[in-house]
Amino acid sequence: MTAVIDTDSPTGTEVKRDFRLIDSTLRDGSHAISHQYTEDQVVAVVKGLDAAGVQVIEVTHGDGLGGSSFNYGFSKVDEMKLVEAAVNATTNADIAVLLVPGIGTVDELRRVRDLGVNVVRIAVHCTEADITEQHIKIAKELGMEAIGFLMMSHMNTPQGLLQQAKLLEGYGADTVYIADSAGAMTTNEVRARVAEIVGGIDVPLGVHAHQNLSLAVANSIAAYEEGARNLDGTSAGLGAGAGNCPTEILAAVCEKNGIVSGVNPLMLMDLAEEVTRPLMPRQQVVDRAGLLLGYAGVYGSFLLHAERAAERYGVPQAEILLELGRRKVVGGQEDMIIDVAVELARKHAEAEGRTA
C-alpha cells in the first residue's frame, strides 16, 4: 500500500502513515475505572497521545454519549466537561465520541459538535446497522466524520458483516469498523471477516480488538495485512474485560514489521508507564475472568458488573460469565447479569437444601 500523507503532525511536517490509529483510552478505558475519569486525567492522556502523533482520540463514558446512568454506571465528571477538556488539550489530534443509538441522542451529538468534536463512531450490535441511518445522516449534516461501528462482530459471519457494512456505507458512513467487543475472535476469524468486507465496500475498514484471548495485537496486525486501514488501541491496554490492544505495543510491533504508524512508540511507552498505569485501579491482565469473556464470547464491559453480582449473590463469577455466553447476551443487556446471578444463587441453594 502507498502510505498516506498526514500534514497535521505535531511537528507541522508531513508524516507518512500506512493506517490511521484511533485511541480510545478515554472511552473504552472508562469501563476499567468505573467511569471515574477527572478532567486533569483526560488532559494528561490527551496531551501525551497528541504529542506522540495519535490522529484520533475518543472521549466519552464507556457506553458512549449519555451512558452515565444507573444501568451502566455513573460518571464522576459530566462527559461534556471531559470532552471540552479534551478538545482544549489537543493541538493536532481530532477528538471523537461514541454514540450508541438508544443511549446517546442527537441533541448530545449536536452539543459535542459545538464543543469542537469532529468524529463520531455510531455503535450498534453487529446485526443492527439499520438503526444507524438517522444518526449517520445527522452527523454528516453537522460536518462530522461518521464511522459505523459494528459491536460483538464475532456473533456474525463474514458475509453477514459485509451486508451490515454495505448498509452503513449506504447511509453515508465514511468508515466502517468491526469491533471484537468480547475479545472472542481468533486471528483466522479476523482475517476472514476483514477480507470479506474489504472486498465488498468502497470506504475504509477498521478493527477494534480486545485482549481476552491475548490476541489483540496479533489480530490488529492480521487485520492490517488483510486490508484494514484503521486500527484501535488504548494506552497500557486500559479497557473493558482484559483490556484493549495496547497502543504502545501495537506501535512498536508495527515498526518492527515495517508498517508505518506515524506515531512515536517511545513516547507512547512513557505515557503508558507514567500517566496511564498510575490511574488504573488494577493492571490489565488476562486472568481467569478476562479469559472467560473471550472464551464464552461475553461483552467486555460486563466484567466488573459480573464481579459485583458474584460478590452480592455468593455465586462464582465464572458461572455467571459462562451462562451469559450461553444466552448470547449483548451490550445493553446489563440487567441480565443480575437475573443470571439470582437464578444461579437459587439453584445453588436448592442443591444444598437451603433457601436462597
Task: Provide the residue type at 305 as one letter.
Answer: H
Question: Is 346 annotated in some ligand binding site?
Answer: no
User: How far does Cα 47 stand from its chain's mean position?
Assistant: 20
Element (H, E) at 134: helix 133-141
Nearest to 153 by CA among 114, 196, 116: 196
In this structure, the number of other CB atoms found within 10 A of the CB of residue 5 comes to 11
Residue 305 is among the residues annotated as catalytic for this protein: no
Candidate list 31, 35, 125, 154, residue with the active-site label: 31
- What are residue 4's DSSP bridge partners? 17
CB 324 within 8 A of CB 340: yes
Question: Is 301 annotated in some ligand binding site?
Answer: no
Question: Is 154 annotated in some ligand binding site?
Answer: no
Question: Is 210 annotated in some ligand binding site?
Answer: yes
Cell of 17: 502513515
Question: Is 125 annotated in some ligand binding site?
Answer: no
Question: Is 78 annotated in some ligand binding site?
Answer: no
Catalogue the E-assigned strands of 79-181: 94-99, 119-125, 145-151, 175-179
CB 44 within 8 A of CB 282: no
Catalogue the E-assigned strands of the chain: 4-6, 15-17, 20-26, 56-59, 94-99, 119-125, 145-151, 175-179, 205-208, 230-233
Which residues carry out catalysis?
31
Q: Where is the binding site for Mn(2+), in residues?
A: 28, 208, 210
Q: Where is the binding site for substrate, in residues?
A: 27-28, 181, 208, 299
